[in-house]
Structure 1
C-alpha cells in the first residue's frame, strides 16, 4: 500500500512540473496551435508570438506573469506533496529539512529543464516546420 501512495505522489509532482512548463510556454504555444489548425496565417501567428514573447504592443507583463504563476504552481505542488507525506508542522519540516531541500531542488530543476525542452526545442521545431520565422531562436544555431 505504501508503494502505491509514493507512486501517486510522484505522478502528482510530474503533473505540477509539466503543467508549469506548459503554462510558462504559453507565449509560443498559441501561435503553433493556430497555424497548425489553420485558424491563423503564419504572419499573424508570428506577430502574436512576438507580442507575447518579447512584450511588444503593451504585452510586456505577459511572459513574467506566466513565469511567476508557473513557479507558484511548482511550489504549490511541493507543499501538497510534503503535506501528503506527513510533513505538516514546522518541527517536522526542520527534522526533514535535508529531504525537503533536495526534493525541492530536483523538482525546480526538472521544471526548468521541462520548460527549456518544451519551449525552446519542441515548440521551436514545430513552429519552424509550420513556417513560423523562428529559425534564429533555435538553441543550436
Structure 2
C-alpha cells in the first residue's frame, strides 16, 4: 500500500495522472528536466551546487517512480493486484474481505435426460416392470378362474 501511495505522489510531482504508464512518466520527467537542468538554466538566487543537488534529487525521484511502476506492472501481470475485494456497484463504498469469501453452495445437478442410463438403472427398471406385469397377470388369472372365463383343463 505504501508503494502505491508513494507512486501516486511521485506521479503527481511529475504532472502525470495516477494511472500513468512509463512513457507518460518519462515525458513528465523530460519536461521538468528542461526547466530545471543546471546547464540550461540556473534559477536566479541559487548557486550552481544547489541547482545540481535539486536536479540530482529530481533524477532520483524519477528512477524511484520508474521502479515502482515496473513493480506495479509485474504485480498486475501476475494477478496480485486484483480489486475483487471492493464492491464496485456502490462506487467502492463497501469493502469485502476476499479471504472470508466463500463461494455460494450449489445444488447437485440432476442428470439430464440425454445421458444414457447405466446397466444397473436399466436392470432396476426392467425388474420393476416385470413385477408390475406379473402382479397384473396374477390378478387377472385369479379373477378369470373365479368367473370361469378360462378353461380349467
Query: How does the TM-score come out when normalised to structure 2?
Result: 0.32
- Structure richer in helix, relative to its length: 1
Where relative contact order (Cα < 8 A, 6+ residues apart) is larger, the structure is 1
**So what's the TM-score if we normalise by structure 1?**
0.34
